[in-house]
Amino acid sequence: MAVASLRREPGGDHLGLDVSGEEWLASATIIQNEDIMSLSSPSLDTLFTWIRTESPTHDRAGVNMMMDLVVAQMQDAPVAVERVAGGQGLGDVLVLRAGPQTSAPGVLVMSHLDTVHPVGTVEAELPLRVEGDRLYGPGIYDMKGGAWFALEAFKDVARRGSAARPMVFLVTPDEEIGSPITRPMIEELGRRSAAVLVTEPARDGGQIVTARKGVGRFDVHVEGRPAHAGSRHKDGRNAVYEAARQILAIEALTDYGRGITTTVGMVSGGTAVNTIPQHCRFPVDLRVETVADGEAVTAAILGLKPSSPDFRLTVTGGMNRPPYERSEATSRLFDNARSLAAEIGFDLVSAPRVGGGSDGNFTAALGIPTLDGLGIDGDGAHTLQEYGLISSIAPRQKLMTRLLETLC
């Protein structure tokens, strides 16, 4: 159970590691001294606790335990914490506010604390462990590492009273399933913001994200007519066969030249090997670069017709996240961040448009300058090889701090 993952046991390996955060820091040689100094061992222990606190989206208790950890993290800091109950059986949402109390548009930071890994992953397939500079564990890269250090930066800036604008930090429980409960909040807070900073993981070598494809999701249900596969074959209308035809049509909508992809990644149908199946269902994933392509392909998918009147075809869904197209305002925000990174001592590069959607798509689509991929560097999102690079934490935490202090 997730409850057990919060329990700390006495002794150096209470986090399931061979070493405590302090011992690890003493032995770490890969990261620069300055970086080590700025990562205090209690806070690294906190990050380890975060990873041990498993929080798949549909595990409300686990996600809420993560929210508890954030509330605890903000204790004693001049941060107003608003906790909104999550609906639809999902975890709670946190809205943290700090900085100058003015009506000027603020800076909005967004992080999600749900992960895709089922409870138990950290005990079995993806144990929390440090290998050189790599910290392995479920959700470390997507996106607990980035959320954690961004919250640290937020807290520090709040304490110092050095924020350039009102600061709002939105911590969400539902990004991995398309943000069904938080989208209205994201859009409302986004509209009141001068800039949005998203702590999704960095791309190959620390690149940040200034454009993402839009994402559509659909569910297709084919209904045919059941029959005995031996004695009444002719009477049956095979829903799996019809689904196969529809899948070919859907996959054919892929157009790499225009950046359009359609994927049927799962299919379920039938009840027995010797029965003509009555039902078949499958979801469709769609990625597009432009709003126009999103509308056109959505219309094509929703307009699919059965190959014969003997089949019933029901298609639901639509665009889930609009494309995040790099605007001029976002370009200026990126240039700003790049010069701050240069002062800190690293080169900030923007990745080519990435295929994965995020909550940044919602704010970018509203025309709010949005920088994404400001989280931890590493690799292996959504896989059992997921890791974050510990050496990327300190410089990127500093970048978040400087953004909060200087964006005006």
Which range, of 72-80, 140-148, 154-162, 364-372, touches Zn ion by CB under 5 A?
A: 140-148
Site string for Zn ion, 85-124 (x = CB under 5 A): ----------------------------------------
Nearest to 300 by CA among 265, 242, 252, 239: 252
Whether the Cβ atoms of residue 259 and residue 288 lie closer than 8 Å to each other: yes
* Identity of the residue, 325 or 386, whose beta carbon is nearer to Zn ion in the bound complex: 386
**Cα–Cα distance measured from residue 47 to residue 301, given in angstroms and rounded to the nearest whole number:** 43
CB of 199 to Zn ion, least distance (A): 9
Among 107, 143, 297, 371, binds Zn ion (CB under 5 A): 143
CA proximity to 223, closest of 307, 275, 270, 279:
279
Shortest distance (Å) from residue 27 CB to Zn ion: 30
Of 186 and 240, the one with the shorter C-beta distance to Zn ion is 186
Site string for Zn ion, 162-201 (x = CB under 5 A): --------------------------------------x-
Structure tokens at 49: 């606790």
Q: Give dist(CA 214, CA 298) in Å, integer.
A: 12
Q: Is the dihedral of CA 162, 348, 32, 70 positive or negative?
A: positive
Q: Looking only at Cα atoms, what is the longest distance across the chain?
A: 79
> What does the alpha-carbon distance between residue 143 and residue 377 come to, in Å, rounded to a whole number?
10
Question: Nearest to residue 336, comparing CAs of 391, 408, 384, 385?
Answer: 408
Q: Which stretch binds Zn ion (CB under 5 A): 137-145, 234-242, 272-280, 281-289?
A: 137-145
Q: Kindly tell me which of 142 and 152 has the beta carbon lying closer to Zn ion.
A: 142
How many angstroms separate the CA atoms of 211 and 352, rounded?
7
What residue is closest to Zn ion based on CB? 142
Scan for tokens 């079995």, then name that residue.
124
Q: What sign does the CA torsion over 56, 146, 374, 26 have?
A: negative
Q: State the minimum distance, in angstroms, from the CB of residue 364 to Zn ion.
A: 16
When the beta carbons of 294 and 375 are compared against Zn ion, the nearer one is 375
Q: How many CA atoms lie within 13 A of 55 on its CB side?
A: 31
142 binds Zn ion (CB under 5 A): yes
Compute the least distance from the CB of residue 173 to Zn ion, in Å: 12
User: Is the CB of residue 258 less than 8 Å from the CB of residue 353?
Assistant: no
Of the pair 200, 242, the CB lying nearest Zn ion is at: 200
Q: Which segment (97-105, 136-144, 274-282, 322-330) binds Zn ion by CB under 5 A?
A: 136-144
Q: Look at residues 328, 377, 369, 323 and name the one whose alpha carbon lies nearest to residue 348.
A: 377
CA gap 121, 140 in Å, rounded = 12
Q: Per-residue string for binding with Zn ion, 199-218, x by CB under 5 A?
A: -x------------------
Kindly tell me which of 145 and 269 has the beta carbon lying closer to Zn ion.
Answer: 145
Q: How far is the CB of 315 from Zn ion (least distance, A)?
A: 27
Q: How far is the CB of 3 from Zn ion (least distance, A)?
A: 24
Closest distance of CB 164 from Zn ion, Å: 27
Count of chain residues binding Zn ion (CB under 5 A): 3
Nearest CB to Zn ion, comparing residues 146 and 236: 146
User: In this complex, which beta carbon is closest to Zn ion, that of residue 109 or of residue 143?
Assistant: 143
Q: Which is nearer to Zn ion, 142 or 174 (CB)?
A: 142
Looking at 19-27, 135-143, 222-230, 370-378, which segment touches Zn ion (CB under 5 A)?
135-143
Closest distance of CB 73 from Zn ion, Å: 19
CB of 115 to Zn ion, least distance (A): 8
Closer CB to Zn ion, residue 35 or residue 359? Answer: 359
Residues 6+ apart with CB under 8 A from 179: 112, 172, 186, 321, 359, 362
CA nearest 175: which of 140, 152, 201, 143?
143
Chain contacts with Zn ion (rule: CB under 5 A): 142-143, 200
